[in-house]
Amino acid sequence: TQLLEQSPQFLSIQEGENLTVYCNSSSVFSSLQWYRQEPGEGPVLLVTVVTGGEVKKLKRLTFQFGDARKDSSLHITAAQTGDTGLYLCAGDTSGTYKYIFGTGTRLKVLA
Amino acid sequence: NAGVTQTPKFQVLKTGQSMTLQCAQDMNHEYMSWYRQDPGMGLRLIHYSVGAGITDQGEVPNGYNVSRSTTEDFPLRLLSAAPSQTSVYFCASRGMNTEAFFGQGTRLTVV
């Protein structure tokens, strides 16, 4: 059973465009993380959010944790070709560091 | 600074064969996990450990065994490989308040 659903599954956009990726669940998470994965590599952590309503910014990336801590979004402003990759959200439902991953969003930014 | 080291990087098994995927970390992290990654499925948790001598099942544990005799090592055993276990396997470790670090993955094909 996949607790975390991400949308869209695939996204192909032109350089300079904005985009938002969503991570949704019916479960409450004590914390939620976003990762980016390049081909042939393991995922690399981008951010961790722990408080409902929290917003974190990482250069052109903005992450938001839902008020009820059941969902999150990742917004990229003025996408660049270097943003291309697989974006994964992961949530911890029990505070035990047993992280469950979402289905992933594969982003391709075209020059 | 090795981080998380997985071996082997690639492996081809015949149905019914057994093998062990190795995972070692040099960061003295308490938490270690094994995931498998299949197309369109994100990462699914197989087994995890919160410390030496303690392991627990994740989302998809059937067909896999683990043990954690030391803090550093967390091997994953396939007792009788099946084609459904063809996947990319990732090991991850994290400390109490640190991000998760992933190995580079093991690409396993069962024929």
Q: Which of A43, A98, A103 sits opposite B40 (nearest CB)?
A: A103
Per-residue model confidence as pLDDT tens digits over B66-94: 999 999 999 999 999 999 999 999 999 98
Most confident of the following: A46-50, A87-91, B70-74:
B70-74
Question: Which chain B residues contact residue A97 at CB under 8 A?
Answer: 31, 48, 50, 94
CB pairs under 8 A between A and B: 59
Q: Cα-flanking dihedrals φ and ψ of residue A15, to 5°?
A: -55, 135
Q: What does pLDDT average to over chain A?
A: 91
CA pair distance B15, A100, nearest whole angstrom: 29
Rounded CA-CA distance A86/A36 in Å is 6
Q: How far is B80 from chain A (nearest CA, A)?
A: 24
Distance, in Å, from the CA atom of A57 to the CA atom of A53, rounded to the nearest integer, reads 13
**Minimum-distance CB partner of A45 among B40, B44, B100:** B100
Q: Does A72 touch chain B (CB under 8 A)?
A: no
A95 touches chain B (CB under 8 A): no
Q: In this structure, what is the dihedral angle of CA atoms B37, B42, B48, B50, given to the nearest 10 degrees?
A: 140
Q: Is A100 on the interface with B (CB under 8 A)?
A: yes
Of the candidates B108, B104, B83, which has an alpha carbon nearest to the alpha carbon of residue B20? Answer: B108
Contacts of B103 in chain A (CB under 8 A): 42
Tell me the residue ranges of DSSP E strands in chain A. 5-7, 10-14, 19-24, 31-37, 44-49, 55-58, 61-65, 71-76, 85-92, 99-101, 105-110
Q: With bands split at pLDDT 50, 70 and 90, how would you rate the model's confidence at A92?
A: confident
Q: What is the pLDDT of residues B8-24, one digit of tens each?
A: 999 999 999 999 999 99
Q: CB-based contacts of B39: which residues, under 8 Å, 6+ apart? A: none
DSSP category for residue A77: S
Beta bridge partners of A48: A33
| Chain length of chain B | 111
Question: pLDDT value at position A97?
Answer: 65
Say whether residue A25 is in contact with chain B using an 8 A CB cutoff.
no
Question: Average pLDDT, whole number, for chain B?
Answer: 93
